[in-house]
Structure 1
């Protein structure tokens, strides 16, 4: 089962189709043809490989008025060893090349230096002269994005930077740059990217950013306000349960679930007051509808 981090990394390349070409050229020094559009194509390669095996993403670079494919890039996110990959990666490349009839590159993305070395091993296909050497984007190849304007122009790259370098000394600066970019994102990306960035930062950087958001930092965005509000709701819900338990009241599972599911601060405030006087935890919920 792919992890949340794996799926989030894949989404970065799908949400910004030019990112694969940018990383090939800027980070890995691979020549990329001039193109007018980068398009996400189907990564279902079930004509040859089983339906449960498909590339993470396939990006096709298009040129001219006819939108002719100039290059295809198979993007594979790899966070741990998988002994199947040396066998299926050549299939992904050849099948994508056959489908789009253009030169095809294999770009493997990882945020683990050890995995970068594992992924870089040449794959001997067994055919004379055909040795597939994956192009690997590891943490060392990802730029450190601490400039707010650059983060605004390429938010996916800012998130990738946090994943690769958020545990280092630049973690705080990377997080601040992302906050500047977060305001310009749609709600869904803002939520997903924001959680991903904050979870990637070292503890000190995360505490600093949380303090900035609570204090109304100048780069405060809708994401920051949302993040702070979620924290207040979570703390208030926990306070309700803690109060009940401190009074020696048994909290049934359905009551606990209902309290933790609440997103209404006014409701939670009411429950905190009720928790001080009721004699049965179930009375907490009956008061909400009275």
Structure 2
């Protein structure tokens, strides 16, 4: 019988499933049956029983959540997997609380080459026993949190709870003791994008049909408009456009998720104070996600003086551009993120294209540039989103092809695993040719799966290649190219 218990945690219930004192599943869900459904048929045949106390496993979980960061290490665990995956899961348990590793580093710790990062990512994605097998301690080498089966906020929560990340990914997320608190991300996401790229405010103004003077730079300004008054006045964000280092336009950016009568008094204060301090024209942009709030915020504010009427510039989803051009998406990641957040939920062809453009740009964007995949995943409630992006970014080698679902059947048929048999017989040359042939089939299959047309001549060129290194390079390219000509460049 599989025994299950729910343990409360700061990021939601933690379900523990054990068999004869050995943990066989654990995860952040309020439904132990969800974890039970992921077990092997043999274990499921034993049945599931909800208990009040699992003993050592639940005691360790409670101690861990109370601050004893090593409490999980001694709990025995068991989960299925290939020998490679078992080595990776064992290596995961050696990653100590307070430290993190990249996928390539995890592969190396498991005795695999660093190029096995994809296999390491797959092992994390298939991990059944979180956080006892701590896949949340594996982070992308390029920054951010990467994907997580139970969602990015839970991964963030694990990291903060265990003092494993010294700084947070974005403002508005702070840890108090062991409890993660988040400022409403629906309010913060536009402000984060504007903070990282103030010039994107120009695009919002243009989308509203409003001109903006020529400028050399855009920078954040102070949103504090107290001006020695006892009442606190603070805007969400301020952007100042400059030409030759002189302000030519200042913009107050406000995010409104519901009508607020008090804003009719504070917004004029923001603008008048900003105009006096910067000595340049000022504008007010109010971003609203729903029509009712947009209509309310668009109501002109009569200041009482003849002709002095403030008309807020309301930006609703219809005024956010749909980014479907790959070059534009790569060059302007902040506006692209806003585009997919706003329009990517649509099931229309254009909405789907916005999503695909964002994904492709995230994969092809130069290293070191943000892609906001984590932010988009949280707002879309789609955590496979970041996982699929992370896997797409990883280099692919023939050794990792067994982790690709539509290549798995070749392995089972022995078309790729013949490499290992060839090595055992000392047939090194035959091994290389066999590996290249298996890789060539993978290249062709990947191109077909991605909808890239391939001529019979090009297909024969790929199939006949016996250069393992060339085929391995083609595999990596096949995941990213737009046409078959790029494969041979």
In the TM superposition, 1:1-290 aligns within 5 A as: 3-25=184-206, 27-47=207-227, 52-64=232-244, 67-169=245-347, 170-183=350-363, 184=365, 189-190=370-371, 193-201=372-380, 206=382, 209=385, 213=389, 216=391, 220-221=392-393
**Larger Rg: 1 or 2?**
2
Contact 1:70-1:103 within 8 A present in 2 as well: yes
RMSD: 2.7
User: How many angstroms does 1:156 deviate by?
Assistant: 0.8
* Cα pair 1:60 1:72 within 8 Å, conserved: yes
In the alignment, the residues of structure 1 paired with residue 216 and residue 299 of structure 2 have an alpha-carbon distance, to the nearest angstrom, of 33
Question: How far, CA to CA, are the matches of 2:367 and 2:299 in structure 1?
Answer: 39
Greater share of helix residues, 1 or 2? Answer: 1
Determine the structure 1 residue equivalent to 2:4. Answer: none
Displacement after TM superposition at 1:164 (Å): 1.6
Query: CA 1:72–1:155 in structure 2 vs 1: closer, same or farther (change >3 Å)?
Result: same
- CA–CA distance in 2 between the matches of 1:135 and 1:16? 20
4+ runs of 1 displaced by more than 6 Å? 185-188
- Which runs of 5 or more residues in structure 1 are unaligned? 223-290
Task: Give the deviation of 1:37 after TM superposition.
Answer: 0.7
Structure 1 range deviating more: 147-156 or 173-182: 173-182
Indicate how the Cα distance of structure 1 residues 114 and 162 shifts in structure 2: closer, same or farther if over 3 A, else same: farther
State the distance in 2 between where 1:159 and 1:208 align: 17
Q: Indicate the SS of the match to 1:108.
A: strand
Q: Is the 8 A contact 2:285 2:312 kept in 1?
A: yes
CA–CA separation in structure 2 for the residues paired with 1:99 and 1:60? 11
- Change over 3 Å in CA distance of 1:189–1:20 after alignment to 2: same
Rounded to whole Å, the distance in 1 between the matches of 2:370 and 2:389 is 18
Q: Secondary structure at the match of 2:253?
A: strand
- Structure 1: distance between partners of 2:311 and 2:302: 9
Superposition deviation, residue 100 in structure 1 = 0.1
Conservation of the 8 A alpha-carbon contact between 2:374 and 2:386: no
Contact 1:55–1:92 (CA under 8 A) maintained in structure 2: yes
Instruction: Report the TM-score, using the length of structure 1 for normalisation.
Output: 0.65
CA contact (8 A) 2:186 2:379 kept: no
CA separation of 1:2/1:115 partners in 2, compared to 1, >3 Å: closer, same or farther?
A: farther
TM-score normalised according to structure 2 size: 0.40
Q: Is the 8 A contact 1:61 1:71 kept in 2?
A: yes
Counterpart contact for 2:225–2:234, Cα < 8 Å: yes
Q: Render the CA deviation track for 1:228-266: whole Å, top value 9, x for unaligned.
A: xxxxxxxxxxxxxxxxxxxxxxxxxxxxxxxxxxxxxxx
User: C-alpha displacement at 1:19, in angstroms?
Assistant: 0.9
The 3 A distance-change label for structure 1 pair 207 and 54 is closer
Contact 1:144 1:161 in 2 (8 A): yes
Question: Which consecutive residues of structure 2, in runs of 5 or more, have no partner in the other structure?
Answer: 1-181, 395-489
1:50–1:115 distance in 2 versus 1, CA, 3 Å: farther
Aligned-partner Cα distance in 2 for 1:195–1:140: 24
1:49 CA drift (Å) = 5.6
